[in-house]
Amino acid sequence: MAPNIDKEAEHLRNKARKELLGLLEGVRGKKNLVIGRDLTGLLSLFVQFPTLKEYGVDKVFELENGNTDSSQRNVVYLVHGEKASLVQSVAEQIKKLQRNGSVEHEISVCWVPRRTLVSNRILEDEGILGDVNVSELPIYFLPLEDDMLSMEMDEAFNDLYLRHDPSPLYLASKALMQIQQRHGLFPRILGKGDNARQLANLLLRGRRELDADDAATQYTSMPSTSIEQLIIIDRDVDFATVLLTQLTYEGLIDELVGIKHNRAEVDSAVIGAAPLQRSQTGSSSTSPPPAIRQGLKRRIQLDSSDSLYEQLRSSNFALIGPHLNKIARRLESDYEGRHTARGINELRDFVNKLPGFQQEHQSLAIHTNLADDLSKHTRSETFNRELEVQQNIAAGTDPIYQHDTIEELIARDTPLSTILRLLCLESTIAGGLRPKDLESFRRQILHAYGFQHLLTLDKLQTMGLLQPRSSSSALLLPVGGAGAPSEKGTKTNYGYLRKELKLIIDEYNEQDPEDIAYVYSGYAPLSIRIVQCILQKQYLQTLHKSPLPLTPSSTGWAGFEDILKSARGPTFNIAQKPADEKAARAKAALAGTGNWKTLFFMFVGGITFTEIAALRFIGRKLAESGQRKKIVICTTGIISGRSIMEGVIEKSNLGSRLVAA
Amino acid sequence: LRGKHGISFEAIARAAYDEGRGHLATTLLNHEPRAGKQVPLLLNMEEDEIALNKAIESGDTDLVFFVLLELKKKLPLATFLRTISDKPVASALVESSFRVSDRELLKDLYYQDDRPIEGSNLLLGEAMQQTQVQAVVDKLKLAGRLLTDAKDSTGQFHTKALTEAAQLLKMQEAFDKDITDGSGSYVGLSVNETMFRLIQSGYSKRAAKVQGDFRVPEKTWWWIRLRALTAARLWG
């Protein structure tokens, strides 16, 4: 019996928990746990602090704090092994522990997701390789939801596009290989973009390596019968979508508050203090006592376990008010129900339902307050001017007309990230800024926000997000790939695709949207339109004015090949053939054809909440139209314009380290 | 042997190498699909360049970086830098990994690759770590000097910005000496923030001098004045 593909998320969660706990069990007695900062939040996705306690964890420290004490003999390090600098600091801390400790420590190191040659070498050079127990915790994908697997790599975006370091691709290929090893090969791999192509190559290579290793299971020699295909989209095909302000409820929370590992930290002044002491979380023993923390921030869980949030998250923000109102009314009438409950039985029924009501009530209170707070921002003048500029640029008006507004926003000290997003958006959509304008904006930014941002601006240029029009790497791809080959543009041509794929939808029904454009109030994310080229050909045809070369049986990219030549990077379609044709056919016949098939999406370099909402929207549409298909979204991490800018903007300034003379 | 399932070319190659037949071993290794097994042996055989190429081909960055660490230890710096300079993946890994641990190596890399702006940015980064104004200014000067030969517009823009940054610091230092009304230090503020603070504390003339020296556009100047005056009235 093949493993159930629908339970993949649950399987990954259980596996991660089991392996971590097994590891802790292997270290006998009580122990202190030292965790890399980027892992602390991540653990909470599959294990809770009380569970760790049951397994003998006394205290949890953050590696970056460097304050590990000697209170326990056993010390366990849990750290990402891919970054040499992290490995180095682990080595240094271990040496420090060995030197000062009055006790002789028993030290274990657990590398996530794998033990690397480099980490071995560093520990060896420090002379401690022999003194520590080394193991690995193979966590690649972590489930955020049942249909959402993320590698939760915060640095993936900068690794790929700023430093051109392909590590995330390799880890992504490992992650996807694990799925293939359980469920069989992806029968088809489709993709768009350079990194997508690289990843596909790594998957093919991975299969060969498995063959050589004799580690091939019955699944890796056979295309899967439960998976239809894997679609890989490279982020750099469509940067514009990330730069726009997301307008779904969840997207807006991420833009204004920030969501990490399904959680957001909200001012408790906004949503009220936490009711009683909520369950402790993984990293809490290093934090100040809860009383102090509650005064500032309160952590809320944002996932589908809260049915109210599940209903709200994907809606356009404009609808949240009415929606909350409706729920409040329903809840009230539910409470009223108690008056009509006469008989003992009815009363008992009511009392049984009461906890549910109360929970919903609490959740309603949180989201009402949160939505109210968000709408303070969305009603502010700067927010609306920002949105206006975005919409104009996205709709294709000459961006020069927006420059006055942007200059004014700079002079009024609007946060730098807002300004940079607008300029990057212009550069991305218009193929760079006129050199004269760019220089003027660069000057204004340095004057307004500090000369340290010379570094910030250079980084954005390296990433290809903010460039002069004269630069060769800023050129747009010629229309439909029809231009002369000498005209070597490399950037996605939004002007052309806006028309061909109907990226702007002027009139749409907000209440009951028919198009994914609702997530940006009129702009359809290009990345998701590209996915629709595969999955909803007929629908795109209705949006398109002239007939496309489509037949009812078209699959893959058929019909859209020429249009997609104007988006950056290669377009590809690979079929994975079974090693043994006959056996595969027999197996396929056995599995039947009427089954639900799962579609995997892989977003290399990150995905936004708006895109997730749009993909789920497509998933629903497919199901409504009678296609037995399910979707699973995979990504290197969840990103937003906010997180990109946070990763790029230089934090220190020329006076930050000065000592008063 | 080709096409047979599960054959370890690594084992055969190792045997060939042990017999002293290095060339045969290298040829055999070409058939080994598992880079993890291929690369260490190649390194052993002193086939550095091939080892690096194979590691890059595999996409496994751990393997690439492992080879790089070995090579860095083994080769003279200049040779090492030359080896990686035409391999984007290798240089990218060196850049991202040594940014913390070995900045001097990076400076050499940028110098050799003729990337003065990156080199200058390293010094700008160091300037922000200094604890004395004079030291900051010195670092900025060094950063500027790297760019003296840069003729392109980006280089010129950087040179100008670095000069301005030093000029602003000097001015701010002077303000700190003159103005002791407890409104805090000026050093480290941006140009606009400096003007804002000056106006807010009632030193409009000095603010106007900043505007003139840095050629701040009229429109920006008026917005800053408006904001500063409103703020001053609000709080007293």
A134 and A9 share one domain: yes
Residue B5 has pLDDT above 60, yes or no: no
A253 and A374 share one domain: yes
pLDDT of residue A591: 62
pLDDT tens digit string along A351-376?
Answer: 888 888 888 888 999 999 999 999 99
Distance CA A280, CA A50 (A): 7
The percent of residues above 70 in pLDDT, for chain A, comes to: 90
Tokens linked to A377: 């921002």
pLDDT of residue B31: 66
pLDDT of residue A273: 59
The DSSP symbol for A464 reads: T
In-domain check, residue A520:
no
Distance CA B202, CA B231 (A): 12
Which residue type sits at A406? I
Distance CA B176, CA B185 (A): 6
Tokens linked to A343: 């008989």
Residue A291 has pLDDT above 70, yes or no: no
Least confident of A180-189, B53-62, B145-154, B195-204: B145-154
Neighbours of A307 (CB within 10 A): 12
Query: Which residues, in sequence order, are CB contacts of A431 under 8 Å at separation 6+?
Result: A469, A474, A475, A476, A489, A491, A493
Strand, helix or coil at B179? coil
The percent of residues above 70 in pLDDT, for chain B, comes to: 84
Top residue of B7, B38, B41, B65 to mutate, by most chain A CBs within 10 Å, is B65
In-domain check, residue A347:
yes
CATH label of the domain that carries residue A128: 3.40.50.2060
Taking an 8 Å cut-off on Cβ atoms, the answer to whether A451 and B153 are in contact is: no
In-domain check, residue A449:
yes
pLDDT of residue A577: 82
A357 and A265 share one domain: yes
Handedness of CA B186, B192, B195, B201 (dihedral sign): negative
Rounded to a whole number of angstroms, the distance from the CA of B90 to the nearest CA of chain A is 9
In-domain check, residue A644:
no
pLDDT of residue B219: 93
In-domain check, residue A454:
yes
Residue B8 has pLDDT above 80, yes or no: no
Q: Does B229 reach chain A within 8 Å, measured CB to CB?
A: no
pLDDT of residue A250: 96
pLDDT of residue A289: 41
The DSSP symbol for B188 reads: T
A342 and A413 share one domain: no
pLDDT of residue A341: 66
Let me know: does B207 contact B191? Beta carbons within 8 Å.
Answer: no
A345 and A411 share one domain: no
Least confident of A364-368, A403-407, A622-626: A622-626
pLDDT tens digit string along A332-353?
Answer: 888 777 777 677 888 888 888 8
pLDDT of residue A280: 39
Taking an 8 Å cut-off on Cβ atoms, the answer to whether A439 and B132 are in contact is: no
Query: Which residues, in sequence order, are CB contacts of A149 under 8 Å at separation 6+?
Result: A8, A9, A12, A141, A142, A143, A175, A632, A633, A634, A635
Question: What domain count does chain A have?
Answer: 3
Domain containing A312 equals 249-271+303-379
Strand order through the sheet with A57-62? A57-62, A31-35, A74-80, A106-112, A132-136
pLDDT of residue A486: 44
A12 and A111 share one domain: yes
Biggest CA–CA distance in chain B, Å, is 89
In-domain check, residue A502:
no
pLDDT tens digit string along A112-169?
Answer: 999 998 899 899 988 888 888 999 999 999 999 999 999 999 889 999 999 999 999 9
Which residues on B lie below 8 Å from A652 (Cβ)? 128-129
* Domain-ending residue, one of A117, A138, A159: A138
* Domain-ending residue, one of A114, A138, A162: A138
Neighbours of A561 (CB within 10 A): 15
pLDDT tens digit string along B75-113?
Answer: 998 899 888 888 889 988 888 888 777 888 888 888 888
Distance CA A259, CA A262 (A): 6
Q: What is the mean pLDDT of residues A641-651?
A: 94
A440 and A317 share one domain: no
Residue A645 has pLDDT above 90, yes or no: yes
Distance CA A397, CA A490 (A): 22
| DSSP state letters, A535-564 | H-HHHHHHHSSSPPS--TT--TTTT-HHHH
- 3-class secondary structure for A618-632? HHHHHHHCCCCEEEE
Tell me the residues of chain A between 63 and 82 that have a Cβ less than 8 Å away from chain B: 82
Taking an 8 Å cut-off on Cβ atoms, the answer to whether A198 and B93 are in contact is: no
pLDDT of residue A599: 93
Q: How confident is the model at residue B190 (pLDDT cuts 50, 70, 90)?
A: very high
The gap from C-alpha A548 to its chain's centroid, in whole angstroms, comes to 33
pLDDT tens digit string along A540-562?
Answer: 988 887 777 777 777 889 889 88
A49 and A90 share one domain: yes
Tokens linked to A72: 């326990």
* Domain-ending residue, one of A81, A104, A138: A138
A119 and A12 share one domain: yes
Report phi then psi at A298, rounded to 5.
Answer: -125, 135
Tokens linked to B13: 């190659």
Taking an 8 Å cut-off on Cβ atoms, the answer to whether B131 and A658 are in contact is: yes
pLDDT tens digit string along A578-607?
Answer: 777 777 667 666 666 567 889 999 999 999
The rounded mean pLDDT for chain A is 86
Biggest CA–CA distance in chain A, Å, is 84
Residue B185 has pLDDT above 90, yes or no: no
In-domain check, residue A492:
no
Nearest to A90 by CA among A60, A116, A64: A64
**Between B25 and B68, residue with greater pLDDT:** B68
Q: Does A628 reach chain B within 8 Å, measured CB to CB?
A: no
pLDDT of residue A422: 97
The percent of residues above 90 in pLDDT, for chain A, comes to: 51
**Between A285 and A455, residue with greater pLDDT:** A455
Distance CA A117, CA B66 (A): 6
pLDDT tens digit string along A219-240?
Answer: 566 788 889 999 999 999 999 9
A434 and A338 share one domain: no
Taking an 8 Å cut-off on Cβ atoms, the answer to whether A655 and B65 are in contact is: no
pLDDT of residue B98: 80
CATH label of the domain that carries residue A325: 3.90.830.10
Which residues on B lie below 8 Å from A407 (Cβ)? 217, 219-220
Taking an 8 Å cut-off on Cβ atoms, the answer to whether A173 and B59 are in contact is: yes
Rounded to a whole number of angstroms, the distance from the CA of A244 to the nearest CA of chain B is 26
| CA distance readout (Å), A191 to A169, A459, B82 | 14, 27, 35
Question: Within chain A, how many helices (H) and strands (E) appear?
Answer: 27, 15
A408 and A372 share one domain: no
A9 and A131 share one domain: yes
CATH label of the domain that carries residue A457: 1.25.40.850
Tell how strand A31-35 and strand A57-62 pair up.
parallel
pLDDT of residue A483: 46
Type and span of the H or E element at B13: helix B9-18
Distance CA A462, CA A454 (A): 12
**Between A458 and B7, residue with greater pLDDT:** A458
pLDDT of residue A594: 62
In-domain check, residue A126:
yes
- 3-class secondary structure for A11-43? HHHHHHHHHHHHHHHHCCCCEEEEECHHHHHHH
pLDDT tens digit string along B129-150?
Answer: 999 999 999 999 999 998 887 7
Let me know: does B57 contact B35? Beta carbons within 8 Å.
Answer: yes
